[in-house]
Structure 1
Amino acid sequence: MITFTKSMLKGAVAASAMMAGTMASAETLTMSSWVPPTHFVHTDFLVPFTEKVAEATEGRVTVTILPAPLASPPQHWELARNGVADITWGNFTYEPERFVSMWFAEFPNAGTHAEAQSRALWRTYEAHLAGNAAFEGVKMLAVGMFGGGQLHHGSKTVTAPEDLANVKFRMGGPIQEKLLSSLGAVPVAAPATKAYEMLESGVIDGSLHTMESVVNFRLEDSLEHHTIFPNGFYDATFFVIMNGAKWDGLSDQDKAAIEGIIGEELSAAWGKNFDLQNPAAIEKLGAAGHEIVDASPELIAAVDTIYDTMVADWVDAAKAAGVADPQAMLRFYNDTYKSLAPQSAVPVSQ
């Protein structure tokens, strides 16, 4: 028979209370993701993030990636804002009217070093956009860019402006639409996840992607001609967010722990992955016999002219969307990117 002393009993009660308190404070967060579990965003970015959350909070907060997305890619901001999922990631481009303020980072010539871009975008968000009404209701965990999107065609070389006349390209947002239509091409709006079936059915002739996206969305048999713009033909902006009320409900200890692994650090991790993936994709596609060519000076000049018009039009739209000084914000991003780019990975065009 086991006899407990009074001190042993007090110790057992205290330990039980501590365990109960720990169990009560444990939090499991759900994440909805819309890429397949084999995609590098899942394996190399999202999964490590969930592991870091558990490690930083000593297991008090865990993140479970759901086995299937709860909605289409354009709906993932609302999933988190409304608390249907606790954490989501997605593309600002898919809700262009809500995120007019972000258009500046999707213009041509935004850069080809994704880590530097993503760090610069995070700093720009903190300095100029954190209080903007478009971002209310969520906790911003990270923002990111992908190192310059390029032109891809299924059957012909595209180097000069006249090569784009009446060519149907899949694209994802208003910046890409403006670029294509101004160059005489026919823009067809759809998420990147729809590109394969649209190419196979002949709905489109080509598609806008990063080089890695051609490989990771398994489009290499459908897109064999690639046109490279040295500073990017366009870009896309991404978010990782958490429901605001769910964030507020975490303990101060856990919020402080998670703050240490999000923000610029998580944004940089996003960009680093693209800086690894894009050159690897160029090597793989080149080895497979794909045609990879530089845009002609005439095509680059045509895009630069469109860029100037885009910026002028965006300034007015951004002011209407609550940005106090859009030109200053654009300068801030560009200057920050340029200061960071030499320290980043190899550009996509090399």
Structure 2
Amino acid sequence: MLPMGAAAQETVTIKYSNWFPGNYFALTDVIEPWFAEIEKVTEGRVKVDILPKVVGTPASQFDVVRDGLADAGWFTTGFTPGRFPVAEFADLPLTSDRASIHAPVYDRIYREYLEDFNVYDGVHVLTTFPLSASHFFVKGKVINKAEDIAGLKLRAPSSNVIEIVKLLDGVPITKTPAEAYEMLSTGVIDGQVTLPSTLVGFNQADLTDSAYMVPGGLTGPVSMIIVNSNTWAKISEADRAAIMAISADKVAAKFGAEWEAQDLDAIKVLKADYNYSVVTASSEDVEHMRTLFAPIEEDWLKRAKEKGYEKPEELLEAYRAALIEEAKK
């Protein structure tokens, strides 16, 4: 028996623009099973077709989907620094280094506080979450304390990381992971702020040789899978509800848990297979960075208000409280 409102619906095929490597864990272990489940819960009325190559570039995925060049895609806000400042609260430094906790909480807070604010006009957000915590990875130098970042040219994947690098007297360079490969291999940059699993998954592990791990994480890059609003409207209300019942914070939790596990494994690989030096920041250095990075939060509050979001302090307070509660589960 068809769900109410679904009887007259023709099959909707969503064309998903994919820029991940074919064997990348996020694609094979989370995205593909989730898309199969979408087809299952809609009894075949909605299908997701993963395109063989990306439409546009990784950085242009929001516009690609909004403009209907593809129906859906993966977008990371850090690829367009400053464009969506209200949503960048997960990017604030030293927020969380537990993606399994961070990811589902972020999606819930987004839906409670920001979904009606229409941050992402022209698209529907199926799920949104910060990735695992990012850390420093450099070539030819062991970072023993935050001050050692001074003078280094580093890929900075978001507005907040740009400020982190600047506050440490480094030189931030804004590029996607794919673009970073050439810059690292040619020595144009000294390293990057990224996830351990990105180095392994995007074949960049041999381009740097040391890690400086910061408890709490430097940032949690905000990512999402979005679908064109017109495409979403073609789906019956009942099927949209069925899709969202297996998406949102539920699939965000799967992404978070998988990323957390992959990052732990990646660190082991970097040490064993690539002879990485891995230094963890001391508690004293973390507190030094917390004080140093305070203006980043103040700037985020200011930018959110400039975008018309009146009470970002309440959002941030609710977010941090929710992270504490999620950690107790």
- TM band (smaller chain): over 0.9
Q: In 1, Cα distance between the equivalents of 2:137 and 2:82?
A: 27
TM-score (norm 1): 0.88
Which residue number in structure 1 is paired with residue 250 of structure 2? 265
Q: Unpaired segments of 5 or more residues in structure 2?
A: 1-5
Q: Deviations over 1:67-114 (max 9, x none)?
A: 000011111111111221111111011223321102221011121111
SS in 1 for 2:206: coil
Which residue number in structure 2 is paired with residue 320 of structure 1? 306
Query: Are residue 76 (structure 1) and residue 76 (structure 2) matched?
Result: no
Which residue number in structure 1 is paired with residue 319 of structure 2? 333
Letter in 2 for 1:179: I
Runs of 4+ in 1 over 6 A off after TM superposition: 21-24
Deviation at 1:166, TM superposition (A): 0.7
Query: Are residue 33 (structure 1) and residue 4 (structure 2) matched?
Result: no
| Equivalent pairs, count | 323
Matches within 5 A, 1:13-24: none
2:210 touches 2:278 (CA, 8 Å); kept in 1? yes
TM-score (norm 2): 0.93
Counterpart among 175, 186, 192 of residue 190 in structure 1: 175
Which residue number in structure 2 is paired with residue 143 of structure 1? 128
Q: Which segment is superposed worse, 128-137 or 62-71? A: 128-137
Q: In 1, Cα distance between the equivalents of 2:165 and 2:288?
A: 11
Deviation at 1:287, TM superposition (A): 1.7
Matches within 5 A, 1:130-169: 130-169=115-154
Q: In 1, Cα distance between the equivalents of 2:239 and 2:115?
A: 22
Query: Are residue 223 (structure 1) and residue 208 (structure 2) matched?
Result: yes
Deviation at 1:46, TM superposition (A): 1.6
Q: In 1, Cα distance between the equivalents of 2:298 and 2:234?
A: 42
Deviation at 1:252, TM superposition (A): 2.5
Q: Deviations over 1:207-263 (max 9, x none)?
A: 111111111111221111011111102220001111111111112332222122111
1:128 touches 1:323 (CA, 8 Å); kept in 2? no
Deviation at 1:23, TM superposition (A): 9.8
Q: Deviations over 1:314-334 (max 9, x none)?
A: 211101112221111111111
Which residue number in structure 2 is paired with residue 292 of structure 1? 278
Q: Unpaired segments of 5 or more residues in structure 1?
A: 1-20, 344-350
Q: In 2, Cα distance between the equivalents of 1:296 and 1:303?
A: 11
Which residue number in structure 1 is paired with residue 72 of structure 2? 87
Which residue number in structure 2 is paired with residue 348 of structure 1? none
Deviation at 1:61, TM superposition (A): 1.1
* Structure possessing the higher radius of gyration over alpha carbons: 1
Q: Deviations over 1:281-332 (max 9, x none)?
A: 1121222221111124453233212331111122111011122211111111
Which residue number in structure 2 is paired with residue 104 of structure 1? 89
Letter in 1 for 2:289: V
Q: In 2, Cα distance between the equivalents of 1:180 and 1:256?
A: 42
1:131–1:96: structure 2 CA closer, same or farther, 3 Å change rule?
farther
Letter in 2 for 1:301: E
Counterpart among 307, 329, 334 of residue 293 in structure 2: 307
Q: In 2, Cα distance between the equivalents of 1:184 and 1:315?
A: 23
Deviation at 1:202, TM superposition (A): 0.8
Query: Are residue 127 (structure 1) and residue 112 (structure 2) matched?
Result: yes
Q: Deviations over 1:106-125 (max 9, x none)?
A: 01112111121111111111
Q: In 1, Cα distance between the equivalents of 2:95 and 2:146?
A: 20
SS in 1 for 2:278: strand
Deviation at 1:177, TM superposition (A): 0.8
Q: In 2, Cα distance between the equivalents of 1:309 and 1:205?
A: 25
Counterpart among 5, 18, 33 of residue 48 in structure 1: 33
Deviation at 1:154, TM superposition (A): 1.0
Q: In 1, Cα distance between the equivalents of 2:141 and 2:283?
A: 19
1:32 touches 1:65 (CA, 8 Å); kept in 2? yes
* Aligned alpha-carbon RMSD (Å): 1.7
Q: In 2, Cα distance between the equivalents of 1:228 and 1:300?
A: 10
Query: Are residue 252 (structure 1) and residue 230 (structure 2) matched?
Result: no
